Every structure is written in C-alpha cells, then in structure tokens.
Amino acid sequence: MRRIKIAFWIPLVLFTTVWLAADSTVLQPPRFFALRESMVQLSGLLAMTFMSLAMILALRPRWPERWMGGLDKMYRLHKWFGIGGLVLAVMHWLWSEVPKWAVGLGWLTRPERGTPPTAAGAVEQALRSWRGTAEGVGEWAFYAAVLLIAAALIHRIPYRLFYKTHRLLAIVYLVLVFHTVALMNIPYWSSPLGALMAVLLAYGTWAAVVVLARRVGASRKVGGTIARLHYFPGLRVIEGEIDTMQGWPGHKPGQFAFVTWDEAEGAHPCTIASAWHPSEHRLTFITKELGDYTRRMPVALRVGQPVEIEGPYGCFTFDDDRVRQVWIGGGIGITPFIARMKQLAMDRQAYSGRPLMQAIDLFHTTADWSEEAIGKLTADAEAAGVRLHVLHDARNGLLTGKHIRAAVPDWKQASVWFCGPAGFGTALRNDFAGHGLPVAERFHQELFAMR
C-alpha cells in the first residue's frame, strides 16, 4: 500500500510544482477572478493528469507491475486515480460555474474584459477558435464521466453492465483531451508544464484508442478449450481445467489470468489453481459463485467450449528467503496456495522427496464445508509437505492472529502470505504489526478486487 500512496501523490506534487513555475499570475496580489482563473487551470490540469494515468494503467502495462507488487496493486492505483480525477473534475467545474451563478445573483461583479491578445500564429489562432466548442463538449463529458465512474464504484451494478459501460470512459477521455488542449493557457505550452502535458495526453490518447479497439493485453492472450468441469455444491464453487494452445508462457504459482468464457460478459480475473507443466499445457481455475454470471457458470459452461486466457499477471508468488512461511487462505482465497502446493509436490517428486527449504503452515478458514474439497486440499498439503490447519467458522470460530501465533511458535521468523476478504486481511495485518512483525516487508496480501 505504501507504494500505491507514493505513486498517487508524486504526479499531484510534480504537476502542481511545474504549474506554479509556469503561472506567474499566482505571485500577483490576490484578486478573486484572477484566482478563479488560476484554480480552473490547476484543477483541470490535475484532473486530466489523474485521468490520463488511469487510462494508461488500464492497458495493464508490464513495466510498473513488479515495482507496484502486482497487477492487483496497479488496479487499486487505477481506481484511486479515477476517484482522484473525479474529485478534481468536480472542483474544476465548481470553480468554473459557481462564480457565474454569483455574478447572476449580483453577489459578485465581473471585471471588465480587456482586448484579447492577437494570436501569434496559425496554431494559436486555431486554439482560440475552438474554445467555445471545447467548453460545451467538455461540460457534457464531465457529466458523463461522473455517471460512468460512479457506475464503476457501485458494486451492485452487474459486472456485465460495468464491463460494457466502463469502456465508454475512453470516449469521454478523448473528448476531455480536446477540451484540455483547446482551453489550457496558451503560454503554458512553451513551458515544461506544456511538454509534460503533451506527453501525458499523447500516451493517454493512445491508451484510449487501444481500449476502444479492444486490444488491451492482446500480446498476452491465448486460446483454450475447457477440458474438464467439476462443481462443488456445498461450496458453490466450480473447478475448470483448460487445455491451452501454443503461446502460453507458463506461470508461477499464485499468479492469475483474465479468462473470457463469454464475449458478452467480458474477461474475469481468476487465480490459477495449478502448477505449470510445459508438456501438459493445462490450467486449472476455481471460481466461486459471487455474482450474476458466476452463479450461471455451472449450467452455462460445457466441456469443449472455447475460451480466451490473458496473462499471467501478479506478484503473489511466494518468493522470499524466509526459513518459514505462514499462508492464510480465506474462502476462495485458498486458490493460489493450491497452485503452490502442487508445484512443491512436483518438485519433491522430481528430487526424490527432498525436504522443503522452508517450513510452511497453511491456515484455511471457510464458512462453507465440503468433505470432498477438504479431502483434496489435505492430499495436496501432504504431497507438498505443508502443515495444514482447516477451520470451519461454524465449528471453530473465526481465525485470529492469536490463533496463528499459538500454532506457529516461531512466527516472528516467518513471512505471511494472505489471500481472502480484504477486511479480514487488514485486521490480521494490523494484529501482526501490533505484535512486532515488520509487515511492510513480510506481510503479503493479494488485493483481488478489479473494480
């Protein structure tokens, strides 16, 4: 989370600083309408900065994923940029509109307008001629952005509708690029601020075009066919095995992929629940009934059905040098640990039962119960040499940090890997931090929420 906060605040501080250097009127004696003009410019530029960065992250670029700690962290930052851009856009609109209302009510007196400066060239002349149109379309684009971002944040809106409407933000963004180019103070373009905005808007425009063309992640997509399906009614979970075509690069346990079972529904993020074996080219996904589409999956999917897989993504890959690891899988969050245990079992078999380099305790807490699923989990743990602790909420109560510390006396030497409900993870992280675990380095949490 610390890196997400750093990545969020750096562009805000950077573009504000560069704007202060470019806007000499800020240092003049304060006059309301001069201040209003400056605030309209600043809020608009910062709103477009955040919206541009959100649009760029929508491409799921490879370059920041490792630094951010995984695509799940990048999507959290994408969400923050979207919310930040919305807040700044509202501020921009208020600075623009409220003084007009105040003038209309007689509360403020608008200063007389001077003669506008003569345009120095064809480009400047064109920019000035577009101002009226840019103001009009920009206002409507602002209203559309408010509705679309709100729709993305309201989880009651079905994923299918979210998937279709969220792409419309790319069109809104392109309109706002035109609004920004036409209405940004012309002297800014010859300053470092203008250069930065030009690069950012160009990159964001390219990203928007890629989104509209449905080419996001195109180089990381492969086709596949459903080879096996198994439904666990007690858990409301479906396990699917997919034969992948040539092109899948392999994956590490703990990574995930976007799987498109239905073009109308769009791609869903799914953690991969299998180790990678190049000779088999098979992936296993475990999906829980959480929404309208996932509830239909047991009857909608069929063996032999073609699917599309994009990935792999994520850095929840158990890579560290600790002699002990503690794994915590809440509900469907057990999936990445299943993949890791299968990998460990393959390694033990390949090296004639060589003992693990790390001592591992896996805690699985679940509100639902299936003897069949727990039996498979137990077999996986035994094959991998992992000590398994299963807790059924109704019988054993909720899992706590105290319970884990009692079961793992040398927990202070361990790294903790958590995947499950976000609130549960936050509570455990705070608990371990309060007992002296350096959580910034040794508490790893998957933020598996893509909206």
Task: Say what percent of the chain tops pLDDT 90.
Answer: 62
- In angstroms, the first-to-last Cα distance of the chain is 17
Position 120 confidence tier, pLDDT thresholds 50, 70, 90: low
pLDDT at 92: 96
Q: Beta strands of 266-335 (E only): which ranges?
A: 268-271, 282-288, 306-313, 324-330
d(C-alpha 251, C-alpha 267), whole Å:
18
pLDDT at 350: 76
pLDDT in tens, 130-188: 888 999 999 999 999 999 988 888 877 777 788 788 889 999 999 999 999 999 998 89
pLDDT in tens, 164-180: 888 899 999 999 999 99
pLDDT at 35: 86
pLDDT at 10: 96
Contact 34, 25 (CB under 8 A): yes
HEC sequence for 21-68: HHCHHHHCCCCHHHHHHHHHHHHHHHHHHHHHHHHHHCCCCCCCHHHH
Give the CATH class of 324-445: alpha beta
Position 115 confidence tier, pLDDT thresholds 50, 70, 90: low
pLDDT at 310: 95
d(C-alpha 68, C-alpha 315), whole Å:
9
Task: Say what percent of the chain tops pLDDT 70.
Answer: 94
Q: Averaged over 197-223, what is the pLDDT?
A: 95
What average pLDDT does the structure give for the chain?
89
CATH of 2-111+119-212, one of 1.10.260, 1.20.120, 3.40.50, 1.10.3470: 1.20.120
- Please state whether the predicted TM-score (pTM) of the whole model is above 0.75: yes
**How many C-beta atoms surround the C-beta of residue 91 within 10 A?**
17
pLDDT in tens, 272-309: 999 988 888 889 998 887 666 677 788 888 999 999 99
Token pair for 320: 């560290």
Upper half-sphere CA count for residue 206 (Cβ side, 13 Å): 9
Q: Averaged over 23-36, what is the pLDDT?
A: 77
267 or 194: which leads in pLDDT: 194
Position 127 confidence tier, pLDDT thresholds 50, 70, 90: confident
Side chain identity, residue 371: E
Q: In what order do the strands lie in the sheet with 324-330?
A: 387-392, 359-366, 324-330, 414-419, 443-445
Q: Averaged over 321-328, what is the pLDDT?
A: 95
Contact 53, 75 (CB under 8 A): no
pLDDT in tens, 371-420: 999 999 999 999 999 999 999 988 888 899 999 999 999 999 999 999 99
pLDDT at 292: 65
Position 6 confidence tier, pLDDT thresholds 50, 70, 90: very high
CATH number of 218-313: 2.40.30.10
pLDDT in tens, 226-269: 999 999 888 888 999 999 888 899 999 999 999 998 887 788 88
Sign of CA dihedral 426, 431, 434, 438: negative
pLDDT at 405: 96
pLDDT at 153: 83
pLDDT at 225 over 90: yes
- Going from N- to C-terminal start, the domains of the chain cover 2-111+119-212, 218-313, 324-445
Q: Please, which residues bridge with residue 418 across strands?
A: 328, 445
